[in-house]
Amino acid sequence: MSAILAVLGTVVGAWIIINLIGALIVGTIAKAILPGKENVSWFMTIVIGFLGGIVGKIIFGLLGWSTGIFMGFIASICGAFILLIIYGMMMANKAKPTKP
């Protein structure tokens, strides 16, 4: 029984690491596509890449497009790009000084 739990723990740990690396790659590609200077940390890049994968696959699913391996990667980049634009707009509004 403990051998099964050890294998399961290894598989889950590997799955988490692979997803974090994938999210970093997706977020980095989305940042490279977006023109301009966005000051996004590596942690936020991973978060944007991970959430972008979810958003992109939902959008592609609603449109009836395939979300296999290749198209899922494209969907993830599109979703991350959308979230990066939203993040940039939020930071721009936050940076504007308010008048008293």
User: What stretch of H or E contains 46?
Assistant: helix 42-63
The residue with greater pLDDT, 17 or 9, is 17
Task: Give, as one character, the DSSP assignment of residue 36.
Answer: S
Q: Please determine, for residue 97, whether its predicted confidence score (pLDDT) is greater than 70.
A: no
How far is it, in rounded angstroms, from Cα 77 to Cα 61?
15
Q: Is the CB of residue 23 less than 8 Å from the CB of residue 42? A: no
How far is it, in rounded angstroms, from Cα 75 to Cα 67?
7
User: What stretch of H or E contains 72?
Assistant: helix 69-95
Domain boundaries, the chain: 19-95
pLDDT in tens, 22-72: 999 999 898 888 876 667 788 988 999 999 999 999 999 899 988 788 888
Q: Is the CB of residue 46 less than 8 Å from the CB of residue 16? A: no
Q: Please determine, for residue 6, whether its predicted confidence score (pLDDT) is greater than 70.
A: yes
Mean pLDDT of 3-24: 81
